[in-house]
Amino acid sequence: MMGGKEGLILAAGSGRDVLKGKFRGCLVGLALGDALGAPFEGAGSVDKREVFAAAERRQVLRYTDDTHMAVGVAESLIACRGFDGSHMAGIFIRNFEREPWRGYGPGPPLVFQRIKLGVPWDRVAEEIYPGGSFGNGAAMRVAPVGLFYYRDTVRLREVAFLSAQITHAHFLGKEGAALQAFAVALAVIYGPSGSPEDLLERMGAFVTERVYRDKLEKMKDLLGAADPAEVAVHLGNGIEAFNSVPAAICCFLRHPGSFEEAVTEAVGLGGDADTIASMTGAISGAWLGIEAIPVEWTAKLENRDYIEELAVRLWETALGQE
Ligand code: AR6
Ligand code: MG
């Protein structure tokens, strides 16, 4: 069990409502980061003021495949009261067929086609890229796993890997998903009073792949860097999990007290801006809770009611597992 003692104190002592607010903050934060970043995907670095202004101009903050797949992960964990690979793959396929226009990466639709032809859910991903995909598609959707298993690091890693396996079989894609899920779990347990340095220590002890360990080490220098562009220079801002997951974590750690600052900085990195901001938003929302997310943004978030409802059902299901 990870931080089992702290987790129990949080659930019993500081109130179930705090925990519920963290679950809601995490999924709403994920969707908002995705929606705020979507217009900037593939861009160069962008000033935060432009990110705020672009959000203000839009009537609806529409999300993309990152949120669509995270919704699928949550739906499956709730329906099965835990992980079931065949069920989760089926939900991904059902949701994709309803809304294929969400901006999916190239790999997942090919995976879905092959599963429908009968290839087993846990074998298919190896057929698409040599060694499997190391894209960030498993990490971008994994936050509900971090919420559901926040008290149990061993199971959290197992389920992060298994949920990744459906589309992202490469060990670096899986490790990115596990690290992002772990960051969410740490945010649930230690936010908002913990320290970025302590979180970095814990993440450093968690990861097993060198590229992630080296980037977590590098983050110590980046926490106080004046120019956010340094984050992209040293950690990367690309679609690969080993670039975008560390970049997302770093933006959160540089601004643990402010959802807006963390998320707009993540969007401003450019590159895979929606996915980086989505992962930052999930961690920041879990750290600070729903109350810290600006209402001007949540009011315009597409399908906000359903996303919040899922967060609450995930919370109820997770507590029911005690
Ligand atoms: N070898 C070479 N390139 C690779 C490999 C590999 N083994 N694995 C991944 N790539 P994919 P995703 C590169 O297709 O991760 C949406 O826009 C390759 O360039 O598995 O689900 C979201 O917003 C490949 O095209 O998709 C996210 O930004 C790319 O990684 C993103 O897509 C993506 O891998 C999620 O994409
Ligand atoms: Mg993206």
Nearest-atom number in ligand 1 for the CA of 104 is 16
Among 136, 163, 242, which residue has the most ligand 1 atoms within 8 Å of its CB, making it the best to mutate? Answer: 136
Longest Cα separation, the chain:
52
**In the predicted model, is pLDDT for residue 202 greater than 80?**
yes
**122 C-alpha vs ligand 2 centroid, how far in Å?**
24
Average of per-residue pLDDT across 109-128: 96
**Range of weakest confidence among 29-33, 41-45, 84-88, 217-221:** 41-45
Answer with the residue of higher pLDDT: 14 or 164.
164
Domains detected in the chain: 4-319 (1.10.4080.10)
Cβ of 34 closer than 6 Å to ligand 1, yes or no, is: no
Instruction: Say if residues 42 and 103 touch (Cβ distance below 8 Å).
Output: no
Q: What is the pLDDT of residues 23-75, one digit of tens each?
A: 999 999 999 999 999 999 998 999 999 999 999 999 999 999 999 999 999 99
Q: How high is the pLDDT of residue 160? A: 98
Cβ of 272 closer than 6 Å to ligand 1, yes or no, is: yes
C-beta atoms surrounding 86 within 10 Å: 13
Q: What is the pLDDT of residues 301-315, one digit of tens each?
A: 999 999 999 999 999
Q: Is 98 exposed, middle or buried (0-12, 13-18, 19+ CB in 10 A)?
A: exposed
Backbone angles phi, psi at 321, to 5 degrees: -80, -10
Cβ of 66 closer than 6 Å to ligand 1, yes or no, is: yes
**pLDDT class of 4 with cuts at 50, 70, 90:** very low
**In the predicted model, is pLDDT for residue 187 greater than 50?**
yes
Cβ of 275 closer than 6 Å to ligand 1, yes or no, is: yes
Name, in order, each residue with C-beta under 8 angstroms of 113's C-beta and a sequence gap of 6 or more: none
Cβ of 133 closer than 6 Å to ligand 1, yes or no, is: yes
DSSP symbols for 222-288: HTT-S-THHHHHHH--SSBHHHHHHHHHHHHHH-TT-HHHHHHHHHHT-SSHHHHHHHHHHHHHHHH
**316 C-alpha vs ligand 1 centroid, how far in Å?**
33
Cβ of 13 closer than 6 Å to ligand 1, yes or no, is: no
User: Three-class SS of residue 191?
Assistant: coil
Tokens in use for 184? 């969410």
**In the predicted model, is pLDDT for residue 216 greater than 80?**
yes
C-beta atoms surrounding 97 within 10 Å: 11
Instruction: Say if residues 65 and 102 touch (Cβ distance below 8 Å).
Output: yes
**211 C-alpha vs ligand 1 centroid, how far in Å?**
18
**In the predicted model, is pLDDT for residue 93 greater than 60?**
yes
**103 C-alpha vs ligand 2 centroid, how far in Å?**
8
Q: Kindly state the percentage of the chain with pLDDT values over 70.
A: 95
**In the predicted model, is pLDDT for residue 265 greater than 80?**
yes
Average of per-residue pLDDT across 151-170: 98
Q: How high is the pLDDT of residue 2? A: 39
**189 C-alpha vs ligand 1 centroid, how far in Å?**
31
Tokens in use for 262? 């963390």
